[in-house]
Amino acid sequence: MSLPEAVMKSGSVRPAVPTAGQSQPGFPTVHPNILRLYNYFHDARRVYLILEYAPRGELYKELQKSHTLDEQRTATIMEELADALTYCHEKKVIHRDIKPENLLLGFRGEVKIADFGWSVHTPSLRRKTMCGTLDYLPPEMIEGRTYNEKVDLWCIGVLCYELLVGNPPFESNSHNETYRRILKVDVRFPPSIPSGAKDLISKLLRYQPLERLPLDQILEHPWVRAHSRRVLPPSAQMAS
């Protein structure tokens, strides 16, 4: 059994596909905002992954501690994720589960996409499987439509809102109400949210996937450009 055939998830072996963090011929692995997989080994029951160390832990824990993040921190994370997802999509990988729990923090606090348990490598970039986390599900998944890599655009729009406000935009008392609000794109912006961030989120949380702001335009969005303080590690600077 090779790693592309199985990957560790919640202590068990499950079918999987190559992810952006794997080392294999023709699939480069080094991106400063994707947790690196150095090697793996397995026994009869489990696959063990040797991963890059992320010393500052989960973004989720940082958010729990501070409740919200400021504009600079959030805009920096948006730039890092847009760049990392561009890399993934170029390799025909859809992540499908971007959320604070799946993002780790490196030595400088940089975000690293760490959990590819729901990711899929699909040359056509088209799928129908419903997966991910309730508060982050895009309309096309809920409705059972065929979807593509633009589900990741929806997810980072939800993430941007949660980082600035402290909770996801469609959070409700019941699953059905959450589904209803997602399908209506019922986003309620508090007065505290900056106008530039509101503009970015509004351009990502669109019912029609084709209307969502592309990743390259996230990188060039005025709010991101004004507030991001992304610092690349020396190795990435040399590579660029």
- Write the burial class of residue 129 (CB in 10 Å: 0-12 exposed, 13-18 middle, 19+ buried): exposed
Mean pLDDT, residues 27-40 = 83
| Percentage above 70 pLDDT, the chain | 79
State the residue for tokens 């150095």: 38
Burial (CB count <10 Å: 0-12, 13-18, 19+), residue 36: middle
More confident residue, 79 or 24: 79
User: Using one digit for the tens of pLDDT, what is the confidence trace for 204-222?
Assistant: 999 999 999 999 999 999 9
7: three-class secondary structure by DSSP: strand
Look at the block and give the residue holding tokens 């997802």.
85
Confidence of residue 191 (pLDDT cuts 50, 70, 90): very high
The single residue of 97, 115, 135, 152 carrying the catalytic annotation is: 97
Instruction: Clarify whether 97 is annotated catalytic.
Output: yes
Domain assignments of the chain as residue spans, ordered by start: 3-51, 59-229
Residue bearing the bigger pLDDT, 13 or 168: 168
Can you tell me the mean pLDDT for 59-63? 95
User: So what's the architecture of 59-229 in CATH?
Assistant: Orthogonal Bundle (1.10)
Confidence of residue 16 (pLDDT cuts 50, 70, 90): very low
Q: Report pTM.
A: 0.83
